[in-house]
Amino acid sequence: MPRALWKGAISFGLVHIPVELISGSKDHELDLSMLDRRDFAPIGFKRYNKQTGKEVVWDDIIKGYEYKPDEYVVLSDEDLKRANVKATQTIDILTFVDAGDVPLTYYEHPYYLLPGKGGEKVYALLRETLRKSGKIGIANVVIRTRQHLCALVCIDKAIVLNTLRFADEIREMDDLDLPGSTLKAAGITDKELKMALSLVEGMSEQWQPEQYHDTYRDDVLALVRKKIKAKQTKTITAPEPDAEEEEKPDNVIDLVALLQQSLGKKAPAKKTVRKPAAKRKAA
């Protein structure tokens, strides 16, 4: 059982549900160490006092807010909690909205919510209410020292808390160079759209997340094993010379031909206009 990152309660109306917060994702990023290329020794980083230059151990490190240059207000973990006790211990549901109303760009990080002791029935009631209504709960929660907007979503037997980005953290699309929003403005014909829909339909299947994995990570680890076997553990691979710039194709794309090829059909032969034969001179 993973360790709870946070303990508190879900609160909406007069309902109070004790819960624990468990991270809903696992990090499989390659753990690469930084080395000195001259002797391949590991690189270390020190926490040091900027005035004395001496290293500082974790037990002597505290947090402070710089309210003016070189002047700080010291804030302990207890201070951060006392600033708003309710906010640090409660997932406060503000409203309920249709699940489809929140764009995917707002979703950030998933956490599982587990019911605390005595909260199983009320937890299940909220879960089934979310499921039947098709709604998600929009709430505030403080995790560590930051307040997050979040969504409470019913997934199978769990209530999942997904932290959300605030609206001012989403880049506006107005200044992006995007194709027109209508078929005509984007230069798409009904035939092209129909063929693209057929291609999507032919490639569609049920969502099976277990069949996908990080193939790039596998390739890097295979390269590591290959270097170990070849005793090239301290060989620095130089970058390949830049390839000659390939001739850039024109921007005219025969989209119908590409779609037909994707659908397994032969592209229609291009019509050639024959020039009329020259008339023979009369004998």
Q: Where are the domains of the chain?
A: 6-25+59-168
Q: Which token pair is 254?
A: 């025969």
- Give the β-pairing of 90-98 and 6-12: parallel
- DSSP SS3 for 213: coil
- From residue 130, how far is each of 53, 125, 154, 158, 206 by CA, in Å? 55, 9, 6, 11, 24
Q: Where are the alpha helices (DSSP H) in the chain?
A: 77-82, 85-89, 120-133, 183-186, 190-203, 215-229, 255-262
Which fold does the domain 6-25+59-168 belong to in CATH? Ku70; Chain: A; Domain 2 (2.40.290)
Whether 24 contacts 111, CB under 8 Å: yes
Instruction: Check residue 282 and give its pLDDT.
Output: 43
Low-confidence ranges of the chain (pLDDT < 50): 273, 278-283
- Cβ-count burial 157-170 (b if 16+ within 10 Å, e if not): ebbbbbbbeeeeee
Instruction: Check residue 283 and give its pLDDT.
Output: 37
Radius of gyration of the chain (CA): 30
Instruction: Check residue 280 and give its pLDDT.
Output: 46
Helices and strands in the chain, H and E counts: 7, 9
